[in-house]
Amino acid sequence: MTTTPTLSADAAADAKIAEQIEEFGDKLSLVRQSIGRVIFGQQQVVDQTLITLLAGGHGLLIGVPGLAKTRLVETLGTVFGLDDKRVQCTPDLMPADILGSEVLEENETGRRSFRFIPGPVFCQLLMADEINRASPRTQSALLQAMQERRVTVSGHPHDLPAPFHVLATQNPLEQEGTYPLPEAQLDRFLMEIDVGYPEVDAERQMLIETTGVQESRAKAVMNPQELMNVQHLVRRVPVGESVVETILAIVRNGRPESSELEEVRSQVAWGPGPRASQALMLAVRARALLDGRFAPSVDDVIALAHPVLKHRMALSFAARADGVTLDHIIAHLAAPYT
């Protein structure tokens, strides 16, 4: 007597999820088109950044100057209707310069009180440009904001706006005067996104479009509430057992203490923790939703293994001396499932 209503309720819930996936899939297609008017080529970079936002995470963009990283962040803010701000990180940047500070004010009656002045972190999309140039003290302040979605100033907590995302950039070439991000902060980034040079056709189109009298501009397609609705939907996208097992196998085999692969045991100093599994699970769900699919596949796991795991692993000194790269190790981890 009770089985049929339960089944029908489950079927209705699945149908509603499928309807929402189809609806938001169409909107996300328009988001891609709007971004494509401003960012030429770099489709993989755009998709991985979108996946990061849809999964509710933060992204670390690695690339040399001049590859439109800042423009991409500005465009994302426009397309999603987010309040975006930019911070140029320098060694003398203090935590208060990002978080905000309290100032002593005196009113007309002579009464004095402290007033909190919010810093640039009080936005929905923060671009931290060249984050590795910030001092460790400033990096740790940003770490709390990324992890807890709140900041503490003078002992008082202040909640950040929702949604809140950090897209940080890092120049892989110039390392003088920089402070490498500690492992704890790297682990807070959902993905490390490598930004390379554009293809020749994309660069040709960029030359024509950006050096004329008028430049194309992105248009708002979604609003912050719709983005949060998509983020909630991502967590409801069903995941098959084969995808779960593939994620577990790849992540656990990346740990030298328990890996079945001799290459990992001998060449990896430390491997990805459980947060890597969580990040990969969210990322494959978001990728499926971005493509308008109702469930992720093993191919999604393979496609996102590199950006999710690369900054959560480290090679041994001997492996680096032999010219081994993390890309090689991760490709070896994913090889049985390709």
pLDDT, greater one: 106 or 129: 129
- Cα-Cα end-to-end distance for the chain: 46
Q: What letter represents residue 192's amino acid?
A: E
- Going by pLDDT thresholds of 50, 70 and 90, the confidence category of residue 9 is low
Q: Residue 57's closest CA among 335, 332, 329, 308?
A: 308
CB 302 within 8 A of CB 336: no
Report the C-alpha dihedral over residues 196, 296, 167, 56, rounded to 10 degrees: 180
pLDDT for residue 8:
65
- Going by pLDDT thresholds of 50, 70 and 90, the confidence category of residue 181 is confident
pLDDT for residue 105:
82
The pTM of the full predicted model, rounded to 2 decimals, is: 0.89
pLDDT for residue 19:
80
Is the omega angle on the peptide bond into residue 95 within 30 degrees of 0, that is, cis?
Answer: no
Question: Given a cut of 50, is residue 94 above it in pLDDT?
Answer: yes
Secondary structure class of 30 (helix, strand, coil):
helix
Q: Residue 264's closest CA among 197, 331, 219, 208?
A: 331
Bin 149: left if φ > 0, else alpha if -120 < ψ < 50, else beta: left
Average pLDDT, integer, range 241-250: 95
